[in-house]
């Protein structure tokens, strides 16, 4: 690994996952002992990097007793952290699996409201933690009160330090990046439905997805654009080339953490200066490994490496 990796999580969570014999309205639902994990996009990317044999520092906004619990969980997993004071109490989330049919119900809290003076404190923490050629990853939901242009502002801060920014986002922040491109953005990743919403049309084929991704690159949105296609892998486009990568079908246990595992595998390979199509392979293999794992568990290193050898990469 030749580049340091720094992940940013503005809206972290402590994730609880449990099961119940049956989920129905009315009676008390007797649940099993919960699996408790640190969560939030950037945190999960750092955890995935760790699981794959690398190391990433997680920069996290924390608050209250739940925030302290979150830091303890990260320490137990061996993930280095840089914590700064966020507003309010760090949120909690819960997923419950119905044992009768395997359906998973996910309850995601919004997180505390950010004030105007909270954002400069976050940016100052990023500035202090970012060195030359650091790979900075912004992933996960933005907390209430954070403006949609935060990724664009962050891109300028990262660029000033000669680092590279990878953004995995959705909603208003994604649309803002597309409407007001920032040349400083190195990689932009999105899910397939987000890509179709941004494109304003269906993207039924890999070639359609590649054409759309490359149009964003040519528009100056990012140097590299990645669009996930679910079970059909992912498409990556640069200004001159496009690739598609996919694994053979795998048994799906839980889709939680697949996107973050993709970003972790991709970023770790990028930090190792692998060719960009190999970085795509690592991301797809890690995502496939993640969907084979239970609940909030992420990609397994051995499974990822096994799937890597089966991953097909095609130039488009």
What is the residue range of 185's domain? 5-315
Q: What is the pLDDT of residue 228?
A: 93
Q: Give the residue with greater pLDDT, 57 vs 300.
A: 57
Helix ranges, 77-205 (H): 118-129, 150-160, 171-179, 192-199
Q: What is the pLDDT of residue 250?
A: 72
Q: What is the pLDDT of residue 1?
A: 60
Q: Which of 103, 260, 294, 302 is catalytic?
A: 260
Q: Compute the distance between CA of residue 134 and CA of residue 303 in angstroms, rounded to an integer.
A: 28
Q: Give the residue with greater pLDDT, 295 vs 200.
A: 200
> Which 8-state DSSP code applies to residue 248?
P
Q: Give the model confidence (pLDDT) of 22-73 as tens digits.
A: 999 999 999 999 989 999 999 999 999 999 999 999 999 999 999 999 999 9
What six digits make up the tokens of 31? 């649940």
Q: What is the pLDDT of residue 93?
A: 92
Q: How many domains does the chain have?
A: 1
Q: Give the model confidence (pLDDT) of 234-249 as tens digits.
A: 999 999 999 999 887 7
Which pLDDT band, with edges at 50, 70 and 90, does 102 fall under? confident
User: What CATH number does residue 150 fall under?
Assistant: 3.40.1190.20
Q: Please report, for residues 62, 64, 264, 298, the alpha-carbon distance to residue 8 in angstroms, rounded to integers and kept in the order given.
A: 12, 19, 13, 18
Q: What is the pLDDT of residue 3?
A: 78
Query: 139-148, 149-158, 178-187: which has the minimum mean pLDDT?
Result: 178-187
Whether 241 is catalytic:
no
């Amino acid at each position: 690994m030749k580049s340091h990796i720094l992940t940013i999580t503005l809206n972290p969570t402590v994730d609880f996952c449990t099961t119940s014999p049956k989920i129905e309205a009315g009676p008390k639902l007797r649940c099993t002992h919960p699996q408790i994990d640190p969560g939030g996009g950037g945190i999960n990317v750092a955890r995935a990097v760790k699981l794959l044999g690398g190391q990433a520092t997680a920069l996290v906004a924390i608050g209250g007793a739940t925030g302290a619990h979150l830091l303890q969980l990260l320490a137990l997993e061996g993930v280095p952290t840089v914590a700064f004071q966020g507003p309010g109490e760090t949120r909690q989330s819960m997923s419950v699996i119905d044992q009768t049919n395997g359906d998973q119900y996910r309850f995601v809290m919004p997180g505390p409201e950010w004030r105007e003076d909270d954002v400069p404190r976050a940016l100052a923490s990023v500035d202090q933690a970012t060195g030359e050629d650091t790979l900075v990853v912004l992933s996960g939901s933005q907390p209430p009160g954070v403006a949609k242009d935060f990724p664009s502002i962050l891109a300028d801060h990262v660029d000033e330090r000669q680092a590279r920014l990878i953004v995995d986002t959705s909603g208003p922040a994604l649309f803002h990046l597309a409407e007001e491109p920032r040349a400083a953005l190195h990689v932009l990743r999105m899910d397939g439905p987000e890509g179709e919403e941004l494109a304003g049309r269906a993207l039924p084929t890999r070639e359609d997805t590649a054409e759309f991704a490359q149009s964003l690159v040519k528009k100056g949105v990012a140097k590299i654009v990645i669009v996930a296609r679910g079970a059909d892998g992912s498409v990556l486009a640069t200004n001159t080339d496009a690739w598609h990568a996919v694994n053979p079908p795998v048994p799906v246990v839980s889709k939680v953490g697949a996107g973050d595992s993709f970003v972790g595998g991709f970023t770790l390979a990028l930090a190792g200066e692998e060719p960009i199509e190999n970085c795509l392979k690592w991301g797809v293999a890690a995502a496939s490994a993640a969907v084979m794992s239970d609940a909030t568990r992420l990609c397994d290193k051995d499974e990822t490496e096994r799937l890597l050898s089966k991953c097909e990469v095609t130039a488009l």
